[in-house]
Structure 1
Amino acid sequence: MLIPKKSGTESKRQVHIVRISERHDGQRLDNFLIRELKGVPRTRVYRLIRRGEVRVNKKRCKPDLKLSYGDEVRIPPVRTGKKSQTEKVSPGLTQLLRSSVLLETDLLLVLNKPAGMPVHGGTGVRLGIIEALRQMQEDWRNLELVHRLDRDTSGCLLIAKKTNVLKVLQKEFKEKRVDKTYHALVHGQWPADLKRIDIPLRKNKLSSGERIVQANKDGKSATTGFKVLENYCDSSLVEARP
């Protein structure tokens, strides 16, 4: 629900207060704002949060804050231009994504994400998979990513159709109750005795809002098991299970 703020000087600047509905209960603040402020670059959205121009229940907050039903989000006036509007989905991309759907139910989509495609728009990327899907048909307008896959990674991508499904599935991922298996073709012969890699990883966020993970001794423990599936002349096919 969008409610114009009517008191003080802020009303003249068209500050808005958005009251969170059940549909957005549990959604991250940054994802919510990116949907609300269509056409505004992600870098600008993160800057608004960082500067405290966006507030939740009159308090400063972080981008990963999980919104709750009834929360009031203060959104400052932000100009958008035609040049920054979301790019339209081409017929070729539409056909590719439709052919990549592995499963569709009333609750979710399972997509075989093509390698080389980002799951969402960002710096230098005006159209990601989720933005494209939302344009493709009416009942997909409120699709939400359950998790992410790197741009160069292909594989199963879970996309929720309903907020309650999104919350349940994200909780499963957070509590590590989801088994993940990756296949990777690596250059050279994989050492037969290398079956486990344990290197601490730390999440960092660039000024653009993009999140990256780097090996760091102060990071969280991250262990991945490996198994060689097949060896070739100058490469190996391995299975990785984090």
Structure 2
Amino acid sequence: MTYKILSSSIIYINEDMINQRIDNFLKKKFKNIPKSMIYRIIRTGKIRINKKRIKPNYKLKIGDNLKVPSIKIFIEEKKCFYINNYEKKLLNNILYEDNYLLIINKPSGIAVHGGSGINFGVIEYFRSIRPLDKFLELVHRIDRDTSGILILAKKRTSLISMHQQIREKKIKKEYIALVHGLWPHNLKKISEPLLKVCLKNKQKKMFINNNGKISETYFKIKKQYSCTTLMSIFPKTGRTHQIRAHTSHVGHPILFDQRYGNSNLDQIIKNKINSTRLLLHAFSVDFVHPSSSNILHIEAPLDMNVRNFLQNLV
């Protein structure tokens, strides 16, 4: 463990910051600071707005002058990814961008944000190369090993609009996955509740459990091979690892899924074709643009390695 001092700073609240509770704003802005410390410095009056003490539920207003004191924080040493490693993989994979949204085709193996042993992800990368952008946040998340569509909001109004569409289930997503075995033609829907459990190695895993959250996934067969099936998958809810847990539950795990898969079946495929990446890809998304109200349809093509992999299957 190492530590660093965050020097005192003054933040001027603009239109992209307003209407947030001060505690939530500070938790997002200073992710390395423990929540308990944030509440302590608010409670003790070290956080000031317009030179006055405030409570954690204070909502930011345009023109507010927020003063943050010097803070000593401890940082866990994590595996480092350098910006140059992301340059080609991310900048060449921008699918759509305007003043409101940034949509990329995220490669497999890159995290959407820092954490779980790394200190750099997609959101940190774009913030680092675009320091003049006042606002940049993830609209949603996809697993580190899953490739495909990832949406970032460039305005708070865009983030609010997209989150409302997610809550109202108005965003339609299609995933492509290659699963083990011959998927039954009559299995078109899985509705099994998912419960998140923290394992001893600090990993999180979803289990089918009646105490879990309602989860619903629809399936359509694209192509069947001798011992695998290429699927189109349409999640209606957005639970953690939902697709991976549901496919595994019915005995057809996704190829090379180290958490929910079948290593013995994976090894048989690996011996024939040299590939080990999770074969799950966020292929398309449909949603209402937060500003124009037009319906957008965005597709993320499969990378060449996956296409070559599929062409060699029998």
| Residue 45 of structure 1 pairs with residue 34 of structure 2 | yes
Q: What are structure 1's unaligned runs of at least 5 residues? A: 1-13, 62-66
Aligned-residue CA RMSD (Å): 4.0
How much has 1:236 moved relative to structure 2? 0.7
Q: Which residue of 2 aligns with 1:225?
A: 218
Name the TM-score, length of structure 1 as normaliser: 0.71
* Residue 189 to residue 21, structure 1, CA distance change in 2 (3 Å): same
Give the superposition deviation at 1:166: 1.1
| 1:15-70 alpha-carbon deviations (Å, 9 max, x no partner) | 999786532246687874355336x3xxx534546xx53659535x8xxxxx8434
In structure 2, the partner of 1:3 is none
Take 1:161 and 1:186, find their aligned partners in 2: how far apart are those partners?
Answer: 36
Question: Cα deviations across residues 201-230 of structure 1 (Å, max 9, x unaligned)?
Answer: 245679999876443211222111111110
Which of these residues, 41, 58, 69, is aligned with residue 60 of structure 2? Answer: 69
Q: Secondary structure at the match of 1:189?
A: coil
Deviation for aligned residue 1:193: 2.0
Q: Which moved more, 1:170-179 or 1:216-225?
A: 216-225
Q: Deviations over 1:68-126 (max 9, x none)?
A: 43499997864147886996743231121101100111111011111121111113110
Q: TM-score, normalised by structure 2?
A: 0.56
Residue 16 of structure 2 aligns to a residue whose secondary structure is helix
Correspondence 1:1-242 to 2 at 5 A: 21-25=14-18, 32-33=25-26, 35-37=28-30, 40=32, 45-46=34-35, 48=37, 52-53=39-40, 58-59=55-56, 68-70=59-61, 78-80=71-73, 89-140=82-133, 142-203=135-196, 213-242=206-235
The more displaced of 202-211 and 93-102 is 202-211
Q: Which has the larger radius of gyration?
A: 2
Q: Deviations over 1:176-206 (max 9, x none)?
A: 1111111111112112221111111245679
Point out the more displaced range, 104-113 or 24-33. Answer: 24-33
The answer as to whether partners of 2:109 and 2:144 remain within 8 angstroms in 1 is yes
Give the residue type in structure 1 aligned to 2:29. E
Structure 1 range deviating more: 184-193 or 81-90: 81-90
The Cα offsets for residues 147-189 of structure 1, whole Å up to 9 and x where unpaired, read as: 1111121111111111111111111111111111111111121
- Note closer, same or farther for the CA distance 1:144–1:222 as it changes in structure 2 (3 Å cut): same
Q: Identity of counterpart residues, as a percentage? A: 35
In structure 2, the partner of 1:6 is none
Relative to structure 1, is the Cα distance of residues 209 and 107 closer, same or farther in structure 2, using a 3 angstrom cutoff? farther
- Structure 1 counterpart of 2:177, one-letter code: A
Task: Name the SS for the 1:22 alignment partner.
Answer: coil
Taking structure 1 as reference, are residues 73 and 201 closer, same or farther at Cα in structure 2, changes over 3 Å only? farther
* Distance in 2 separating the partners of 1:186 and 1:35: 37
Deviates most, 23-32 or 135-144: 23-32
Q: Indicate if the aligned counterparts of 1:192 and 1:228 stay in contact, CA closer than 8 A.
A: yes
Distance 1:113 1:145, change over 3 A: same
**Against the structure 1 CA distance between its residues 174 and 72, is the aligned structure 2 distance closer, same or farther, given a 3 Å change threshold?**
farther
